Amino acid sequence: MSGSSGTITIKCKDMRVIQFDIPGMEQCLNIAHSIEILSCLDNVCKMYPFFYKPTDSNLPKQWGLSTPETHYSKMKDLHKKWRLSSVNRDYSVCPSYPPAVIVPSSIGDDVLIKAAKFRQGGRFPVLCYYHRKNGMVIVRSSQPLTGANRKRCSEDELLLQAVIEGSDKGYIIDMRSSQQAQQAWMTGGGFESKSCYERWKRLHRHMERGKVLQESLIKLVEACSDESHNMDRWLSKLENSKWLSHVQTALSTAGLLAECVERDGHSALVHGYEGTDCSLLISTLAQLIVDPSCRSLEGFLALLEREWLQGGHPFQQRCAHSAFSHARLQQESPVFLLLLDSVWQLWRQFPLALGFSEVLLLRLATEAYASDYGTFLCNNDQERCAAGVKDRTHCLFQSLLKPTERDYYSNPLYEPTELAIWPSVHPQSLQLWKGFFLRWTEQARLLEEVQEEIRNMVIKWGKLALS
Amino acid sequence: MEFAELIKTPRADGVVLHRPFMPNVEGTLCLTGHHLILSSRQDNTEELWLLHSNIDSIEKRFVGSLGSIIVKCKDLRVIQLDIPGMEECLNIASSIEALSTLDSVSLMYPFFYRPMFEVLEDGWNSFLPQNAFKGLESMTDEWRLSEVNKDFSVCSSYPSLVVVPKDVDDDALRKVATFRHGGRFPVLSYYHSKNGMVMMRAGQPLAGTNGRRCKEDEKLINATLRPGKRGYIIDTRTINVAQQAKARGGGFESEANYPQWRRIHKSIERYNVLQESLIKLVEACNDQSHSMDRWLSKLEASNWLSHVREILTTACLAAQCIDREGASVLVHGTEGTDSTLQVTSLAQIILDPSCRTIKGFQRLVEREWIQAGHPFQQRCAQSAYSNSKPRHEAPVFLLFLDCVWQILRQFPCSFEFNESFLVLLFEHAYASQFGTFLCNCAAERARLFLPEKTVSLWSWMNRPQELEHLTNPLYEANSLVIWPSVAPQSLLLWEGVFLRWNRSSKCLDEAYDEMVHIIEYNKELQNKVNCLRRQLAELETDEPVLRTP
């Protein structure tokens, strides 16, 4: 935001840039000052979702699409070898996990409590995906706290052993380079060594996180706003931002994870450092690749709810500021945006395979940063309960699935298929997500009109077909 | 006759064919005078029917006694043939090399092709200049059709009929022809019916170092100006290049001699720079290294998108002068056969909605490229994979099609044709069974009796069963001028041509078919609704009759 005599330019988190010309220097300064303060409020309970009253609905009786309990009870195949544990019911074992998690049946709550002490942030390995076709699973966690003393934790080892019970090996996808994983000892972290975790094979895939991603976003947005009209400069800047490299890494690592489970037929554990960013990114994308039920509109929203909201991705911290911010960056990182971009690449390569359209992805990208709804508030389930989000705000996902809304977000070309969809990660196959990054250009508006036309046509067809 | 001499081994059995995205096929390879044919052993269907003229280069590889020939085509496809037996392989390779490098036009396949379909409308007669002129006559009487070039003696690369200002007689034209490069005196390219302004094109004026002038040339182009108004000359060369041209006898229109014209210089690249760019781009697309940085670097280094941008910008400029400034425009480069035609034809796509229909676009290509004397034979002799030393090859027409595709993508409802149509034109420009893109100018085509001896591409393409696949289901005719964005962020790599053989288009094709299906079904239902509404209306008017006693 820059206020000069009479003009306030507002740069939004959704990449929009608006300008106000205000007569009178004093008025302008006052308004600018007020906006600055109001846009930096810290207290969650003062945020708009607590005051939002949509005209057409009251506060829902059920907030969210599903709970870990209902999710578990639906998956009957799981019940033999896996159980639902409420060890975290008061969030004391792991503050960023939901109150109920899925763990191997043979592992008791006392084992979990000890294992949690051995993992960063208490995020012990939990199940996030069960592959019906071969009974293999994906589990995720944070890094083990081996530290410089090479500590061991027999409960953690027991837990992981139970995960691959009945199988000859499992894969660990460590989202850090092997060098980074070793250096983690210095700060109290570490990795699962071969000697302690015998039947687990470790694969390292370096993925950038945190500040590096935020820098990348800032550079990309700067390139997109470049009005210089020079083709070479545009391509240079695009390359320097490295955003597309991150998208490529995300998709290729997710592909690797999916391959382990679907093609190689073995369970896999995925973690990075804290287990709240790249781990969730990869586990989400891998599920989209192999599990058709995640690709419908409801299935996708339920997936996001499970992996990101209940999974404890710190939205409040990560989405505090976006590309235009002047503030000193703390924990901001566009991990969720990277997910949506990767999903968009999937949609582009497989236009019939996903039940939702780009419009949904754009909506989610905006809502994560600023919303009327309480869905993306706070950093995890515990904070949401404490602030009363589920009682006093409206749920975005419920709103998106309302009959009047859902047509807008559905993909008219959707044809559900049981097959896995393997994305190409060749650089030539990945494109810049213009719909988001070049959203507010003249051309984008024209194309949006066209897409609106196509959508209306399909909705009309739907109505005519029914009548 | 001659062909038989060039074929060392006419057939080979047990050959395995590798193609992108299709399973390998084993069969019998046959070499004819014009084609490479592979028939599958299993069901005797022809799996491959490749024109020799489509082959850019071949590579031989040997593993033990198994020889492989890698065939790189002008349409960017790469296929591999595994041939058992070293000697057979060598013979076939050298036969293919000989057959694919024939120089004489009259040995080309279009002269031997017998169509399997009935020719309903002869494409050779579909777009004759005299018919086009009738349309112009109805709008204005300021122009006339001149036969001064009837025997191609005044300008060897122009057609026999040209449109010139009414008040300029044939003698004047002959004088002007001596003042323009290649005899290409200024002729009418486009008449903008909205405001009566025109676009003309020519070769560079042969001013030379002495600053020669030609009063007839000045009179000719001044005839297009409205009293008191200026015109614009768009020179597709930078001012430096234009000045250097003087040393070789060329030059530009000086302010002193052409006071009523404002000259604007652009910088559209030509010849080997474009060919290099294409080669680099194709090489980048084939790079399997998986590095995002390397891909973007190579894409940038090829400069292909910069060329696309430059041409589109110049075309927008010409269109702006005509539509927004309300002024007439003259376009020329050096020879007037390459960048000039790119600019004039693209400007018409922007300005004239009729050029966006299928027939209209064909007419545009016929007039502004084929009849206007773009040297297709020379420019499309080689494509990106060629090993031989380039002479006159340049992907000028492909760049034009790329620019059209960019506009099509930005305005998906404004074109009657779809991407497949543009890709088809690209393919046929480089290798075809039809005679449309053969030769370099109208004179050569007349000398070889092309309209009598070959079939026109348009005869085949304009049949309903072909047009069906080339029509854009989203088309909604409008009469607007459409202004494409030339911001670099708006221009994309034309995947349909450059990544065609690198990634499977199965999912995209399915999505396209589904979209067509939805739109058709929608129309059907709409008709049903209208029908029912009419019935309802009739019933309502019947009712009062029933009620009256």
Residues in contact with B74: Cβ distance below 8 Å, sequence separation at least 6, in sequence order: B53, B54, B55, B56, B380, B382, B383, B384, B385, B430, B431
Q: Which two tokens stand for residue A460?
A: 């009309």
For residue A90, give Cα distances in angstroms to A62, A103, A108, A386, B16: 21, 17, 17, 11, 67
pLDDT at A400: 92
In the A/B pair of chains, how many CB contacts fall below 8 A? 117
Give how far the C-alpha of residue B268 lies from the chain's centroid of Cα atoms, to the nearest Å. 17
Residue type, A346: L
Q: Give the span between the Cα atoms of B71 and B93, in whole angstroms.
A: 10
Of B297, B303, B305, the CB nearest to A239: B297
* CA nearest neighbour of B301 among A231, A111, A366: A231
Of B309, B490, B518, the CB nearest to A458: B518
Cβ of B485 within 8 Å of Cβ of A442? The answer is yes
Cβ of B487 within 8 Å of Cβ of A229? The answer is yes
pLDDT at B1: 46
The interface pTM score, or ipTM, of the predicted complex is 0.79
Cβ of B485 within 8 Å of Cβ of A443? The answer is yes
Cβ of B412 within 8 Å of Cβ of A447? The answer is yes
Q: Rounded to a whole number, what is the distance in Å from the CA of B293 to chain A's nearest CA?
A: 6
pTM score, whole prediction? 0.87
Asked if B308 and B492 count as a contact pair (C-beta separation under 8 A), the reply is no
Of A238, A434, A447, the CB nearest to B296: A238
Which of A231, A249, A357 to mutate to test binding with chain B, by most B CBs within 10 Å of its CB? A231
| Contact B530/A at CB under 8 A | no
Q: Give the span between the Cα atoms of B320 and B483, in whole angstroms.
A: 9
Tens of pLDDT along B310-361?
999 999 999 999 999 999 999 999 999 999 999 999 999 999 999 999 999 9
* CA nearest neighbour of B8 among B96, B110, B81: B96
pLDDT at A452: 73
Tens of pLDDT along A106-153?
999 999 999 999 999 999 999 999 999 999 999 999 999 999 888 999
Q: Give the span between the Cα atoms of A171 and A192, in whole angstroms.
A: 11
Chain B partners within 8 Å of A415 (Cβ): 514
pLDDT at A2: 41
Give how far the C-alpha of residue A397 lies from the chain's centroid of Cα atoms, to the nearest Å. 14
Cβ of B412 within 8 Å of Cβ of A349? The answer is no
pLDDT at B545: 54
Chain A partners within 8 Å of B300 (Cβ): 231-232, 235-236, 239
- Residue that is written with structure tokens 């016929």 in the block: B366
Q: Which two tokens stand for residue B512?
A: 């396209």
Cβ of B529 within 8 Å of Cβ of A464? The answer is yes
Q: Which residues, given as ranges, of chain A have pLDDT below 70?
A: 1-5, 56-61, 441-448, 454-455, 458-459, 461-462, 464-467
Q: Rounded to a whole number, what is the distance in Å from the CA of A414 to chain B's nearest CA?
A: 9
| Fold of the B4-102 domain | PH-domain like (2.30.29)
Q: Which residues, given as ranges, of chain B have pLDDT below 70?
A: 1-2, 543-549
Of A242, A349, A412, the CB nearest to B507: A349
Q: Give the span between the Cα atoms of B74 and B55, in whole angstroms.
A: 6
**Strand locations in B64-196 (E):** 66-73, 78-84, 143-146, 162-165, 187-192
Q: Give the span between the Cα atoms of A102 and A86, in whole angstroms.
A: 9
